[in-house]
């Protein structure tokens, strides 16, 4: 696992940019991000991640783990989080890509939860996007951007946004958020 962001011992605002590529001759089944040993973010498909994770102030360890058919492997980085960020929501550079802008991975919010996401593909146009909450489809739009609100009970919820282009190619991103 090659982590390109954050840099080791770097300083960051509360939105930490996490970008990594997995180099593996086997198919990568999942990539996950951990903050101080706590699972916060997951990619189910592909060999890269490029997203933002909300992290409280202080020194933290960011770990990226990947799984293939033979097991798991990981890389870690330390980052000092101080202050807040003014990062804008953009899709990753390796296409196709879905970026969930809100809620951020590892965030807390109140219900209803606003979900915003962007998608792009090398096979433009992106024709549709679908929101899944806890593995249940809840909203679909025929666009390359998704904005909606969902009423959720207190607790941890898996938010998945799936996109597809005119060729039928599909891809998705998952984040976990806690409703207070």
Q: What is the mean pLDDT of residues 137-143?
A: 96
> In whole angstroms, what is the distance from residue 106 CA to residue 122 CA?
29
Looking at per-residue pLDDT, the higher value among 19 and 106 belongs to 19
Those residues with Cβ within 8 angstroms of residue 165's Cβ, 6 or more apart along the chain or in another chain = 96, 121, 123, 124, 125, 126, 127
Closest alpha carbon to 94 in 63, 50, 141, 55 = 50
pLDDT for residue 93: 59
Q: For the segment 147-178, what is each residue's pLDDT rounded down to a tens digit?
A: 999 999 999 999 999 999 999 888 888 888 89
Q: For the segment 30-82, what is each residue's pLDDT rounded down to a tens digit?
A: 888 888 888 887 776 677 777 777 777 778 888 888 888 777 676 666 666 66
pLDDT for residue 79: 64
């Amino acid at each position: 696992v090659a982590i390109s962001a954050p840099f080791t011992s770097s300083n960051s605002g509360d939105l930490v940019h996490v970008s990594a590529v997995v180099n593996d001759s086997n198919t990568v089944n999942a990539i996950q991000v951990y903050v101080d040993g706590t699972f916060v973010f997951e990619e189910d498909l592909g060999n890269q991640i490029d997203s933002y994770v909300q992290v409280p102030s202080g020194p933290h360890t960011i770990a990226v783990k990947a799984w293939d058919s033979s097991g798991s492997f990981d890389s870690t980085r330390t980052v000092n989080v101080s202050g807040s960020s003014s990062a804008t929501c953009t899709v990753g550079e390796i296409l196709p890509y879905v970026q969930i802008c809100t809620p951020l991975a590892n965030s807390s919010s109140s219900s209803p939860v606003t979900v915003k996401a962007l998608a792009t593909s090398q096979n433009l146009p992106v024709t549709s996007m679908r929101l899944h909450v806890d593995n249940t489809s809840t909203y679909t739009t025929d666009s390359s951007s998704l904005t909606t609100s969902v009423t959720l009970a207190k607790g941890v919820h898996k938010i998945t946004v799936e996109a597809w282009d005119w060729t039928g190619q599909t891809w998705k991103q998952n984040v976990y958020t806690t409703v207070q």
